[in-house]
Amino acid sequence: MQTYPKSQHQLSREQFSPASRAIIQQLSDHGYEAYVVGGAIRDLLLGKKPKDFDVVTSATPEQIKAVFRRRCRLIGRRFRLAHVYIDRDLIEVATFRSSSGNDAAASGGDRLIRNGQIIRDNVYGSIDQDAVRRDFTANALYFDPAGETILDFVNGYEDINKRLLSLIGEPAERFREDPVRMLRAVRFAVKLDLQLDAPCAAAIAPNAHCLANVAPARLFDELIKIFHSGYAESAFELMQKHGLFAQLFPHTAQAIAERPEYETLYRTAFANTDERIAASKPVTPVFLFAVLLWPRAEQLFCQHLQNGLPEFDAMNLAATTVFEEQRDSIFVPRVIQAGIRHIWTLQLRFMRNRGKRVFSTLAHPRFRAAYDFLLLRQITQPELAELTSWWTEIQEVPPEKKREMIFGSAEKGKRRRRRRKKPADS
């Protein structure tokens, strides 16, 4: 183990949230060891603002509960930990864990591994055991606010200084026991501008298929984290490079392979997302997944049209099938599905830019997202250019001009008469 005293690093206790320091103080008053661990130390050493301050301790969840009582709630089954509330802050307090199977048997702990994959991880251990069961060396540093020292069991401090992301232990094994680590590698690399070290990088493609074993809801959450990290375009590149994108979005990857315009479409979509985040504008998984799942939807839509279905039915059926297919790989929550369906069916409404339906299209809650989506589709379908500029213009012109664009100035009278006659004819 390496200990870095205050004189050897640039961190100070004031950089850590008061709540995390108070919790650590209280735990150590009760005779337990306690530290800030993981992401916060990594981010501070890299000069970034930490998202949160996680605490780890030698106290078991029940002992943590006994210290903080009403301010503490125990949560999680797969990974049991304590939520401790101090003032308005919530701090996650976990217990040192061991990953050794022998310890699990010896301590009667609760660790379940199925086909090499961790299902439950609740065997407690010592701090050095806790360090080595973490994912990356950069994520396994401990900070003691009282002494202002950094504890390092895995050479994480040097890796951070070299801006390297290295897995602790044997990469293939660590990726198999939790395949989400491959996506975490991508996210940390792009977000923190770290290089994947060679063994870690080399182990991704051969193990990418293991992502099929991950709980579909967890995969959805992790992908949102990646694509809404502010670095989606680089993440997309890195995921493609290491075979993760094709594993997760096979139809989309195939469309990209067949037509390079799709690559441009996705790059543009991700670059736009990154720009929005940089400008603190809202982003939504609805738009993101509408774009990511589009090639498959488009394919099914065309098939249904050829089989003679009316276009709205064809699109709705395509959407239903896409969501069914996703259920066992990346689970898209129902509310998000509904939004995606709207974005896709609005594409059909855009094809009709005459008549009063245009007003309801413009007023649709998903209009803006659907219009942005139309702009993107233009990249793969240049024939949409004229229609797209029409929808751009209609949003910008004053009301009288809008009516003229929608009904046509000369046409207006004729159309009305024709409509009125209809019922009389039939």
User: Which of 295, 318, 324, 322 is CA-nearest to residue 305?
Assistant: 318
Minimum distance of ligand ATP from residue 91's CB (angstroms)? 12
> Given the structure tokens 């995921």, which residue do they identify?
239
Active-site entry in 54, 152, 178, 274:
54
The answer to whether 134 contacts ligand ATP (rule: CB under 6 A) is yes
- Using rule CB under 6 A, residue 369 touches ligand ATP: no
| Of the residues 181, 242, 342, 377, which one makes contact with ligand ATP according to CB under 6 A | 181
Contact residue for Mg ion among 21, 23, 32, 39 (CB under 5 A): 39
For residue 73, what are the β-bridge partners?
Answer: 83
Catalytic, out of 135, 159, 197, 274: 135
Cα gap 138→188, rounded to integer Å: 10
Taking the complex as a whole, how short is the minimal distance between the CB of residue 24 and ligand ATP, in angstroms? 16
Could you say which of 22, 113, 132, 180 contacts ligand ATP (CB under 6 A)?
180
Q: Are 259 and 380 in contact (CB under 8 A)?
A: yes
CA of 395: how far to CAs of 218, 319, 342, 424, in Å? 39, 28, 19, 36
One residue of 36, 39, 210, 266 binding ligand ATP per CB under 6 A: 39
User: Does the protein bind ligand ATP through residue 125 (CB under 6 A)?
Assistant: no
117-122 and 2-4 as β-strands: parallel, antiparallel, unpaired?
A: unpaired
Stretch that binds ligand ATP, among 155-163, 178-186, 243-251, 356-364 (CB under 6 A): 178-186
Q: Give me the half-sphere count of Cα atoms (radius 13 Å) on the Cβ side of residue 61.
A: 16
Q: Which residue's CB is nearer to ligand ATP, number 150 or number 322? A: 150
For residue 138, the minimal CB distance to ligand ATP (Å) is 8
Q: CB 51 → Mg ion: shortest distance, Å?
A: 6
52 belongs to the catalytic site: yes
> Which amino acid is present at 394?
I
Verify binding: residue 121, ligand ATP, rule CB under 6 A: no
Number of helices followed by number of strands (H, E) in the chain: 23, 12
- 135 tagged catalytic: yes
Beta strands in 96-179 (DSSP E): 110-114, 117-122, 141-144, 149-152, 164-165
* Active-site residue, 54 included: yes
Gap between the Cα atoms of 351 and 60, Å rounded: 61
Q: Which residues are catalytic?
A: 52, 54, 135
Binding interface with ligand ATP (CB under 6 A): 38-39, 51, 54, 134-135, 139-140, 178, 180-181
